[in-house]
């Protein structure tokens, strides 16, 4: 299935552009967008089906075209197991995020749908680009629709929030842009594979600087403590479906960026900085948890909770062993499913009560018992109850952390306690206390249930049979670990000697790409 990744990127974008000339009728616009997103999801399933799992470590579904030849900018797409899962996740989350919040989209649904579709396409682009320039374009392109979606459809603090969001992510992105240009000047190419095999020769200090430039962008996006201050305000101000996109998908662009770019490109730099980043991740886990514990607004609480949970992913990555990276990979999926759906459920509550403040709603287990059961399941998955999906990721990430440095696990494990410490009292207020007849409303509708059904099934399926996701990411995780372990603590002179070998690998990889093209 050649060209499917392009389809996945451009179907929503073209769909958005078509929207401009289509009628304005609200029902039509929303229905049309759902169809586009539905097609997008089906396309991703086709991509999943045509993916050869036995070669999950290699890039498949490759596409390569010259784009701006004078600068060596090629349009290269490709997906290994990790990318592919992220793409499928993107289309799934985009579909259900949009479908679940139809009632919440205010006037201007056409504009909303336009930007939402563009955002979806851009995120898919981020997860499938194998050219640094292309990656950067998509990476920055996600910002613009997100900016407008929040700035136009957000709550009353949206200007302040969106400004903060934009400044933070834009500024941090610029560092990465500069680093990419520097890489181009040094290596003469933007192609991921080519750059990857030539960065090993750079001086350690250069590697560290380049790594930091990339890492800053990803640290803001993920976010990593203390680069998170844009997050709570932005998540709270954004309309719910956009909050879902931000927390479930755009945060993963950061962690994906670490795994795909920052670490394999600059393994020595990454190894040098791993202690710092792991410690910041651990601080984030605990700090975010305690900040969540004192929130009275459920949306802000979930925002901090999302931030705290991202810490486990970053910690797992920087453990630099297969446990940690596999934990991080599957946790990226878990986090998207659980946090994403918790926000969606919050949207259902908001559409009923027009508030997410725990001061105003409570005792809902009596009023909307079924929805509270669903909420509880996702909450338990989020706090890592074994048997559900969240446990696998946290367990592997912490196991990886332990193997890297036992102290990371000794401290990081506090996050497991804190998760219950902020979630359960919040759920107690939401579901059990201060029930009031004023809150009487309809329980979860069948439509609402269907929008979260796939994640609900996955929460159980991944918890019981995590292999279905782990097998896709294992080769990628292993190769990242290998490249780091190969490089860490190795002097440049030794690397010089390895040059021969690397070039051999390079040739091999080129071959694979060509093979992919032929297919």
Q: Scan residues 398-457 and list those touching another protein (CB under 8 A).
A: 398-399, 402-403, 406, 409-410, 413-414, 416-417, 420-421, 424-425, 428, 431-433, 435
The length of the chain, given as a count of residues: 519
CB of 396 to another protein, least distance (A): 6
Which among 316, 338, 300, 313 is positioned nearest to 89, based on CA atoms?
A: 338
CB of 49 to another protein, least distance (A): 23
Cα separation, 377 vs 428, in Å, equals 14
Cα separation, 278 vs 311, in Å, equals 9
| Region from 141-149, 214-222, 267-275, 276-284 binding another protein, contact rule CB under 8 A | 141-149
CB of 354 to another protein, least distance (A): 22
**Residue 60, phi then psi, degrees to nearest 5:** -120, 180
Considering only residues 17 to 56 of the shown chain, the ones binding another protein according to CB under 8 A are 20
Cα separation, 120 vs 466, in Å, equals 26
CB of 489 to another protein, least distance (A): 21
CB of 116 to another protein, least distance (A): 12
CB of 46 to another protein, least distance (A): 27
- The radius of gyration computed from the CA coordinates of the chain, to the nearest angstrom, equals 22
Under the binding rule (CB under 8 A), the answer on residue 71 touching another protein is yes
Among 206, 385, 439, 486, binds another protein (CB under 8 A): 385
**Residue 129, phi then psi, degrees to nearest 5:** -80, 135
**How many residues sit in the footprint of another protein (CB under 8 A)?**
78
Among 61, 94, 202, 380, binds another protein (CB under 8 A): 380
Can you list the pairs that 380-387 forms with residues at least 24 positions away whose Cβ atoms lie under 8 Å?
Answer: 381/334, 381/337, 381/338, 381/459, 381/463, 382/305, 382/309, 382/338, 382/339, 382/342, 382/419, 382/423, 383/416, 383/419, 383/420, 383/423, 383/424, 384/416, 384/419, 386/463, 387/460, 387/463, 387/464
CB of 514 to another protein, least distance (A): 28
Among 34, 201, 293, 456, binds another protein (CB under 8 A): 293
- Looking at the Cβ atoms of 148 and 350, the one nearer to another protein is 148
| Region from 42-50, 197-205, 262-270, 396-404 binding another protein, contact rule CB under 8 A | 396-404
- Looking at the Cβ atoms of 396 and 513, the one nearer to another protein is 396
Count Cα atoms within 13 angstroms, Cβ side, for 241. Answer: 28
CB proximity list for 252: less than 8 A, separation 6 or greater: 86, 89, 332, 335, 336
CB of 500 to another protein, least distance (A): 29
Among 151, 201, 283, 486, binds another protein (CB under 8 A): 151
| Region from 7-15, 83-91, 465-473, 511-519 binding another protein, contact rule CB under 8 A | 465-473
Considering only residues 77 to 106 of the shown chain, the ones binding another protein according to CB under 8 A are none
Among 129, 234, 321, 331, binds another protein (CB under 8 A): 321
- Looking at the Cβ atoms of 29 and 202, the one nearer to another protein is 29
CB of 494 to another protein, least distance (A): 26
Among 205, 229, 275, 441, binds another protein (CB under 8 A): 229
Q: Helices then strands (H, E): number in the chain? A: 25, 2
Cβ(432)–Cβ(350) under 8 Å?
no
**Rounded to 5°, angle at Cα 293 from 281 and 170:** 45
CB of 28 to another protein, least distance (A): 15
Distance from CA of residue 510 to its chain's centroid? Answer: 28
Considering only residues 50 to 69 of the shown chain, the ones binding another protein according to CB under 8 A are 68
CB proximity list for 330: less than 8 A, separation 6 or greater: 389, 392, 393, 396, 462, 466, 469, 470, 473
Among 137, 204, 283, 456, binds another protein (CB under 8 A): 137
Among 15, 78, 81, 145, binds another protein (CB under 8 A): 145
- Looking at the Cβ atoms of 41 and 175, the one nearer to another protein is 175
Give the single-character DSSP code of 69.
G
**Residue 67, phi then psi, degrees to nearest 5:** -115, -65
Q: What secondary structure, in 3-state letters, does 80-119 show?
A: CHHHHHHHHHHHHHHHHHHHHCHHHCCCCHHHHHHHHHHH
Considering only residues 468 to 497 of the shown chain, the ones binding another protein according to CB under 8 A are 470, 474, 478
Alpha helices in 267-321 (DSSP H): 267-293, 298-317
Considering only residues 103 to 122 of the shown chain, the ones binding another protein according to CB under 8 A are 108, 110-111, 114-115, 118
- Looking at the Cβ atoms of 43 and 238, the one nearer to another protein is 238
Among 1, 104, 181, 495, binds another protein (CB under 8 A): 181
Among 14, 366, 443, 490, binds another protein (CB under 8 A): 366
DSSP annotation string for 328-396: HHHHHHHHHHHHHHHHHHHHHHHHHHS--BTTT---HHHHSHHHHHHHHHHHHHHTT-BTBHHHHHHHH
- Looking at the Cβ atoms of 20 and 446, the one nearer to another protein is 20
Which among 394, 440, 444, 452 is positioned nearest to 420, based on CA atoms?
A: 394
């Amino acid at each position: 299935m050649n060209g499917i990744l392009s389809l996945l990127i451009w179907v929503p974008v073209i769909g958005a552009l078509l929207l401009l000339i289509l009628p304005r009728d609200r029902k039509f616009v929303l229905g049309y967008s759902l169809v586009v997103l539905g097609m997008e999801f089906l396309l991703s399933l086709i991509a999943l089906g045509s993916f050869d799992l036995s070669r999950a470590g290699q890039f498949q579904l490759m596409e390569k075209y010259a784009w701006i030849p004078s600068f060596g900018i090629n349009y290269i797409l490709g997906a290994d197991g990790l990318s592919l899962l992220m793409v499928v996740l993107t289309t799934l989350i985009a579909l259900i995020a949009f479908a679940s919040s139809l009632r919440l989209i205010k006037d201007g649904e056409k504009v909303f749908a336009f930007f939402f579709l563009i955002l979806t396409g851009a995120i898919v682009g981020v997860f499938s680009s194998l050219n640094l320039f292309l990656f950067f374009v998509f990476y920055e392109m996600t910002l613009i629709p997100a900016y407008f979606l929040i700035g136009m459809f957000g709550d009353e603090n949206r200007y302040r929030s969106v400004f903060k969001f934009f400044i933070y992510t834009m500024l941090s992105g610029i560092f990465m842009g500069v680093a990419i240009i520097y890489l181009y000047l040094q290596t003469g190419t933007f192609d991921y594979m080519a750059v990857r095999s030539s960065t090993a020769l750079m001086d350690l200090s250069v590697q560290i600087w380049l790594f930091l430039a990339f890492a800053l962008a990803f640290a803001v996006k993920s976010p990593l403590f203390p680069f998170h201050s844009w997050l709570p305000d932005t998540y709270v101000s954004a309309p719910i479906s956009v909050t879902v996109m931000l927390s479930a998908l755009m945060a993963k662009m950061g962690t994906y960026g670490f795994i795909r770019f920052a670490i394999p490109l600059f393994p020595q730099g990454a190894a040098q900085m791993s202690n710092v980043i792991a410690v910041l991740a651990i601080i984030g886990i605990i700090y975010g948890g305690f900040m969540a514990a004192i929130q009275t607004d459920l949306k802000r609480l979930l925002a901090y909770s999302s931030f705290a949970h991202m810490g486990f992913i970053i910690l797992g990555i920087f453990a630099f062993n297969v446990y940690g990276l596999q934990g991080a990979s599957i946790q990226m999926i878990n986090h998207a499913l659980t946090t994403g759906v918790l926000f969606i459920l919050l949207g259902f509550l908001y559409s009923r009560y027009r508030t997410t403040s725990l001061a105003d709603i409570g005792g809902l287990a009596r009023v909307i018992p079924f929805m509270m059961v669903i909420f509880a399941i996702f909450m338990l998955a989020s706090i890592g109850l074994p048997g559900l999906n969240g446990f696998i990721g946290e367990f592997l990430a912490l196991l990886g952390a332990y193997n890297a440095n036992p102290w990371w696990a000794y401290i990081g494990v506090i996050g497991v306690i804190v998760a219950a410490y902020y979630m359960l009292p919040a759920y107690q207020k939401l579901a059990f206390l201060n029930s009031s007849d004023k809150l009487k409303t309809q329980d979860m509708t069948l439509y609402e249930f269907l929008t979260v059904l796939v994640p609900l099934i996955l929460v159980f399926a991944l918890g019981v049979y995590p292999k279905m996701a782990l097998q896709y990411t294992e080769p990628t995780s292993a190769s990242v670990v290998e490249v780091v372990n190969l490089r860490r603590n190795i002097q440049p002179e030794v690397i010089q000697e390895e040059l021969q070998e690397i070039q051999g690998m390079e040739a091999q990889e080129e071959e694979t790409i060509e093979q992919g093209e032929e297919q």
